[in-house]
Amino acid sequence: FEFGTTVACSSWPFSFDDFKQYDWVGARWKWVKSPNAPHAFGGNGAFSLRSRDAMIAALRAWIPPLRGNEDTVLVRTLFEDKDNRISNNLGRKPLLAPPNISEIFAAEEMFDSTRIYPPLGVYHLLRTVPPTNRTALLRACPEARLLFEPLHDPRCALRCPHDPTLL
């Protein structure tokens, strides 16, 4: 849980138990284009569930010089599992959440306005979510209004508080 940039939606209809089979689940990355790319699975780490055992196994298997943010490096390491080093340490292949599960869990840059329930977590100001989808998310998860002022785009129908102490 990345402090200061994340909120939890109180009306989320799932439980953490629904995700316990995954070694990593976080919001789907918008920039991933191929459905088979390593980063199509797992998701952003700012608000994520991670298996302690898988994280320890990944760190033990990590071979520098992979570069990038901590979440992209760990997800790629878990996904690729070169030489089965993580699988051997875990006793099984690491399991990263597929995109449809990542979307149920959290939203960073993507949200489908046709959804009837919010994700559990919303973070990083939803800077690339289209106004219609942003409005739908703010209706489904009013807590997300604490993160940002959506009126920088007048097509967003909901107004956020202007009190800077809430940000």
Q: What is the pLDDT of residues 119-152, one digit of tens each?
A: 998 886 666 777 778 888 888 888 887 776 544 4
76 phi/psi in degrees, rounded to 5:
-65, -40
Q: Cα-Cα-Cα-Cα dihedral of 44, 47, 48, 53, to 10°?
A: 110
pLDDT at res. 166: 37
Helix or strand holding residue 121 (H, E): strand 121-123
pLDDT of 3 higher than 70: no
**Is pTM, for the whole model, over 0.85?**
no
